[in-house]
Amino acid sequence: MRAPYRKPGIYSQMKPDNFLTAEKLVELEKKLERLKLSQPFARSEVSRLAELGDFSENTEYQMAKWKLRGINGGILALQKQIDNAIIIENNTASDQVRLGSTVTVEFDNKIKTYQILGASETDPKKGVISHLSPLGQALLNKKIGEEFTVTLANKQIKYKILEIK
């Protein structure tokens, strides 16, 4: 069966973000190990179901093959991500905002703290933002006391950096 051709979308042309914390790298390595451990069983299941014959009517075979493809694809993707990983160092003694920094900012009479990490670790609800986000890009290389404006959702917001950890 041939896969349909799809025009590439806007996200297919983006370069992967290879910046990870050491904790995230360990998490990815554990996930890779789990996938590698599940691979032999999936292979044997595909072989067992292939012996039943008539691949066009054998839905169990097709599902097992689909699962094995998913495992193999996951292994390849994780291995590539681990091989190309750039570890974010914790810059505790820095006067500028860098990747890995925790920054306290003031805006609209509110005070918020953000940690700037790679795109694969973002969690805005917990205050973890990507260095590729509009706010993350604006914060990078700024110093304590600096003020800057960011356009978010067609609204200009003025920020002031209070603290960098």
Name the phi and psi angles at 16, rounded to 5: -70, 150
pLDDT at 12: 65
This prediction's pTM: 0.82
pLDDT at 11: 66
Domains and CATH numbers, the chain: 19-87 (1.10.287), 102-164 (3.10.50.30)
pLDDT at 111: 96
pLDDT at 153: 84
Average pLDDT per block of 10 residues along the chain, 165 residues long: 70 80 96 97 93 81 94 96 92 82 94 94 94 94 94 91 92
Q: Burial level of 8, CB count in 10 A (0-12/13-18/19+)?
A: exposed
pLDDT at 92: 66
pLDDT at 1: 53
Q: How far apart are CA 63 and CA 66, in angstroms?
A: 5
pLDDT at 91: 64
pLDDT at 160: 95
